[in-house]
Chains A and B, each alone.
Chain A
Amino acid sequence: MGITSGRGRLRTVSATAAVLALSGTGLVAYGLSKQDTATPPSPGRSTAAAESPSGAASSPPPARKGAAYAVPQGDVLDRSQPTRVRIPSLKVDTDVIDLGLQPNRRMEVPQNGKQAGWFTGSPTPGQLGPSIVAAHVTWQSKRGVFFELGAMKPGQRIEVDRQDGTTAAFQVDQVGQYPKASFPTEKVYGTVDRAELRLITCGGVYDGDSGHHLDNIVVFAHLVPSTAPHAHHTG
């Protein structure tokens, strides 16, 4: 319907469109509006339903709709192990090793203050789900590679190089500090419907009696297009 051409006729056309919206085409529009956007509807089906010739014309049959088809949000990458992590705002640029689980089911941590480690039980960075990368805040009287992690801000960028030669770029959503005694396991490790990254380090007050920091700092981030450094793009 060419309802947008001719500036002078705009008002008339608008009125016509309004009338149309209340009549036949309205049914199609209603049908379309009831469809979920994740699965583009077939206008043909909606129209056919609206024009159902089944005699009982007292009330139009409800437009047929399918429920949403649940799929991951945004892009996800194929599996590829991380090799390097960069945090430009903190001037962090370090290689990434593998971390497994200890026999007591606590996560292993790097045996030095300079490397970061990827938890092998988590998705690789860029895959669907929460990918876990940890590094030390302190190590043998020196600053660890994630020393300043708690100073990160939402919107900042994290880049992870992967074995397949690709770089997965992430944007920080949230920075949290949690007592280890009440670590938010579900929030950090639980189900998400996009490719996300967690950077974890120690934080908070150091408890000399136990030899541990009392808190963990967790940076939550999600995958963004690696070609859009500031999450802006034209078009």
Chain B
Amino acid sequence: MRTTTKLALAAPAACAMIFAGASGAHADDGTYTMKLTDTMGNNSGSHSTATVHVMGDQLKVHITGSGFTPNSPHAQHFHGSFSENKNFTCPTSAADTNGDGQVSTEEGLPMYGDIMISLTTKGDTSPKSGLAVDRMPVADAQGNLSYDRTITLPAGAGAKLKNLHIVQHGLDANGNDKYDLDALGESTFAKSLGVSGIPQEATNPATCGTVSGASVGAEPTGGVDTGDGTTQGVEDVGILGLGALTLAGAGGAWAYRRRLGRQS
């Protein structure tokens, strides 16, 4: 099976001429995917997907979700710890220790940990902004929520980020498309922080999730130039191994036809 074109003889080693240089990548850089769901069984009807891109101390967060209380702000945070190696998780309905049918923020905290970053739309992102509902993303009239922000992380936090959980808060327990005190009463969590009159609906967790997938962060463009085409007569073992193959590229089809012509 001699399959190589004669052209290879004259060709320079052009499939691989670039010297390796510094890539500038940090060890903990990465692009992670988080699926945020109502693990609590809080009947929020909400779910989101978060893409988290870590580049050094820069954190790019993109969240899209649906099924949220419409026209209402949804507080959202990274929960967990930047110092402890505790295994945080998302609560199940078993975390509803007072048995009122809802896992509240306080009931969930031991599972997913304290607020580390407040995912506000502008300004401060520290835990202090945890209840800054005036700077939290607002779901549209259809209950869709989207969020994009780049945040500068505290030193060393990039390495810990993939162990954290995102929790989105705010749900509509009595189905009237808004947060109201009639549904679940007053937020005990907000009250414990000195804020009165906030409905429990506004602070109860609607979704929770952690990193469940990852991709190549800085994707290379196109294919990989791994072969300089200089092994006369032997380089098509790959084709033989694969058997029938798709030559989708026009150039590929052209070259293949030429090869067949020469062989026959």
Give residues in A with beta carbon < 8 Å to B: 39-42, 44-45, 48, 64-72, 79, 97-102, 104-111, 117, 119-123, 127-130, 132, 134-144, 146-152, 175, 177-183, 185, 189-193, 200-217
Residues from chain A with a CB closer than 8 A to the CB of B41 are: 64-67
| CB <8 Å contact, B215 and A101 | no
Knowing A39-B90, A64-B41, A201-B227 are in contact, say whether A111-B220 is a contact too (CB < 8 A): no
| CB <8 Å contact, B229 and A211 | yes
| CB <8 Å contact, B216 and A119 | yes
Interface string of B21-48 (1 = CB under 8 A from A): 1111101111111110111110100010
| CB <8 Å contact, B249 and A120 | no
Residues from chain B with a CB closer than 8 A to the CB of A200 are: 224, 226
| CB <8 Å contact, B90 and A179 | no
Complex: chain B residue closest to A211, CB-CB: B14
Interface string of B189-219 (1 = CB under 8 A from A): 0000000000000000000111111111111
A182 to B247: give the CA distance in the assembly, Å: 10
Knowing A181-B251, A206-B11 are in contact, say whether A137-B235 is a contact too (CB < 8 A): yes
**Interface residue count for B (Cβ, 8 Å)?**
89
| CB <8 Å contact, A129 and B215 | yes
**How many Å from the CB of A213 to the closest CB on chain B?**
5
| CB <8 Å contact, B217 and A121 | yes
Task: Flag whether B123 is at the interface (Cβ < 8 A).
Answer: no
Residues from chain B with a CB closer than 8 A to the CB of A111 are: 16, 19-20
| CB <8 Å contact, B252 and A150 | no
| CB <8 Å contact, B226 and A136 | yes
Q: Pick the contact of B249 from A150, A189, A214 — CB < 8 Å? A: A214
Knowing A72-B213, A205-B5 are in contact, say whether A138-B227 is a contact too (CB < 8 A): yes
| CB <8 Å contact, A98 and B23 | yes
Residues from chain B with a CB closer than 8 A to the CB of A210 are: 14, 251
Give residues in B with beta carbon < 8 Å to A: 4-8, 10-16, 18-25, 27-35, 37-41, 43, 47, 89-90, 92-94, 96, 99, 101, 162, 208-232, 234-242, 245-249, 251-252, 255-256, 259
| CB <8 Å contact, B242 and A127 | no
Residues from chain A with a CB closer than 8 A to the CB of B220 are: 101, 105-107, 119, 121, 189
A205 to B230: give the CA distance in the assembly, Å: 12
| CB <8 Å contact, B34 and A202 | no
Identify the 7 closest CB pairs spanning chains A and B, nearest first.
Answer: A208-B7, A150-B238, A100-B23, A202-B227, A129-B214, A151-B241, A211-B14
Residues from chain A with a CB closer than 8 A to the CB of B217 are: 121-122
Knowing A139-B13, A149-B238 are in contact, say whether A183-B222 is a contact too (CB < 8 A): yes
A122 to B41: give the CA distance in the assembly, Å: 36
Residues from chain B with a CB closer than 8 A to the CB of A110 are: 16, 20, 226
Most buried by A among B4, B24, B94, B162: B94
Q: Pick the contact of B22 from A66, A100, A123 — CB < 8 Å? A: A100
